[in-house]
Amino acid sequence: MHVLAFCAAFVQSWWGWPGAARADTDYFSGTDFVGKTRAGKFKQFYINYWKPMRRIQAEDWALSIGGMCENPLTLTLEQFQPLPLRTQTSRMKCVECWSAKGQWSGFHFSELMKLCPPKPEATGVVFHCDDTYTEHLSLEDLNHHRTLMVTAMNGAPLSDEHGFPLRVIIPSKYGYKNPKAIVKIEYVSELQYGTWSKIGPYSPDGTILPGTDHPLDLGKTPHRISGGEITDY
């Protein structure tokens, strides 16, 4: 990829808040990088990254689990294979007023808690992503039956764009509370502000509020929503 073209993509992906729809050109397909994209096949499910990053190679990736826990450890992708698999269909809703539906497969966060139990004073987790994005979720939210640690989407392993090899799907929260390309899990005892909550007007709770949604898979036709997980369409 030409250096100047990549620099333009880098600036475009950085410029603006999540509400600024500026990534309407696919600069990244066919390159070693992923970043904010809304063109081509991604018109049906927008891709947001905090900043462009190199594609993760499965053989090089490992998940570090630490912080306020009893048994810090590191897991490879192969070590996830024995964990009980669950599949659900749910819609991810963005603060930008769009949403998109996917079928997600993965395991419940409680499976990681069995491998690496938190200390009694731990109340939540900070997820650290490969693009340097961070996000906090409480243990209560992570143990909700609709929250998944996702490794596959629509019957195939997660793509790099959708967060390979591991992401969170929590359907009752806005998209910024669904971290992807996770490389580290850190147990914490207090609420931590994630990347967007630190610098933008975004609630650290992130629960979807009543309002209007424009689902990409339904032609962006406005739909009124009552708040929480969208289950009507």
User: Residue 18: its pLDDT value, please?
Assistant: 46
User: Residue 118: its pLDDT value, please?
Assistant: 98
Q: List the alpha helices (DSSP H) in the chain.
A: 3-14, 109-115, 139-142, 195-199
Residue 12, helix vs strand vs coil: helix
Between CA 126 and CA 52 the distance in angstroms is 21
Residue 76, Cα to own-chain centre: how many angstroms? 19
117: tokens are 């139990």
Tens of pLDDT, residue by residue over 71-108, are 899 999 999 999 999 999 999 999 999 999 999 999 99
User: Residue 22: its pLDDT value, please?
Assistant: 54
Which burial class, exposed, middle or buried, applies to 76 when counting CB atoms under 10 A from its CB (0-12, 13-18, 19+)? middle
57-225, CATH topology level = Sulfite Oxidase; Chain A, domain 2 (3.90.420)
Pairing verdict, β 167-169 and 148-153 = antiparallel
Mean pLDDT of the chain: 91
Q: How confident is the model at residue 111 (pLDDT cuts 50, 70, 90)?
A: very high
Query: Average pLDDT, stretch 144-157?
Result: 98
User: Residue 85: its pLDDT value, please?
Assistant: 96
Between CA 118 and CA 70 the distance in angstroms is 6
* Cα 159–Cα 162–Cα 165 angle in degrees, nearest 5: 60
Query: 6 or 37: whose pLDDT is higher?
Result: 37
Consecutive H or E run containing 68: none
Q: What are phi and psi of 56, to 5 degrees?
A: -75, 135
User: Residue 13: its pLDDT value, please?
Assistant: 41
DSSP state of 5: H
Task: Tell me the CA distances in angstroms from 116 to 33, 43, 75, 176, 187, one per residue in order.
Answer: 32, 39, 11, 25, 10
Tens of pLDDT, residue by residue over 40-56, are 999 999 999 999 999 99
Identify whether the C-beta of residue 162 lies closer than 8 Å to the C-beta of residue 180: yes
Q: How confident is the model at residue 70 (pLDDT cuts 50, 70, 90)?
A: confident
Q: How confident is the model at residue 9 (pLDDT cuts 50, 70, 90)?
A: very low
User: Residue 25: its pLDDT value, please?
Assistant: 86
